[in-house]
Structure 1
Amino acid sequence: MDIPGSTGNTGGKRLAAAVVMRKGLVLLVRRSETERFLPRVWGVPCGKLEPGESPEDGVLRELKEETGLLGEVVRKVGESSFTSVYRGQEIKNCQDNFLVRPLSRHITLPEPDQEHRWLRPDELHTVDIDDYNVDIVRQALTNFLHLTAPDPAEPHELRSSSARASSSLR
């Protein structure tokens, strides 16, 4: 039996994650203590795809559901996978990760015990974030820096700050 958002052949879930960046800051959301999966852990907005939904549409829907933000997909930055237990069975979850530009500013979280923070990449360690989410941010940051890197023929402040930001995630 397949579950909603499944890949169809393995019973695993298909997910999409949004790394939302604004002015060099990354949006992180702390999950509710009532969540069954990773309660009170910080991470990027993410969730399972609906049947027939594209990853690009799903990531924007999840962003809206989890933060109230409207967004625009800048680009896919990578893929991740992990195993979890669903109804007593171990399943493989496959996730597409996207860099997303926010189109609105006001964040509304669905649960009162949730929090959000805009953090510099070198501040991620200040919250209870797992290595999996750090890697997703690293994927996006690498792509973000590539997209915004100056022409090598022109000296620019971004080059030195890019190197610092990238090395802070190692």
Structure 2
Amino acid sequence: MIIVGLGNPDREHQQTRHNVGFMVLDALLELETGASWKTEFGVAWARLGQHWLIKPQEYMNVSGQTLKRFIEKKGIEWKVADLLIVHDELDFPLGEIHEQRDRSAAGHNGVQSIIDAFNTKEFTRLRVGIGDNRLYDMPAEAYVLQRFTPDEQKIITATIKDLAHSLHERLIAA
């Protein structure tokens, strides 16, 4: 399995709503003793047994090309059914998770970049709710770059921890 967390690489974006995908993969890697991130071909990556964890290190809107280049350079043999993308989702309440396959990008530029790069949407997505920007009367582009409030941080931290444990069990069982 290839698990890709979407986010933006800059330090200023590290704890923003848009980086939930990175946060989930970081929490997942922490569950593995001795595992650490390596950087190569524009991504941070780690191996958990036969599985790959990948965080593209270019901006989210070009994640697809970065991911494709890494897979090709590393010679990773894979099928689209092996690909799982973890990303933030404006359409769901904070902390709500939906797993979906073969769906459109629904306005998410990082997901659209992956669809475009691989010419398919038949991969699995874990859509992690970050709350609705309309509740704050804020454009989506600004909202996703905001940090969570202290109360929201408690919810998203618990969500990330639970999701990381769930993914870890899934990898062990695979």
Give the shorter-chain TM-score range.
Answer: under 0.3
- Tell me which structure has the larger Cα radius of gyration: 1
More strand by share: 1
Higher relative contact order (CA 8 A, sep 6+): 2
TM-score by length of 1: 0.26
TM-score by length of 2: 0.26
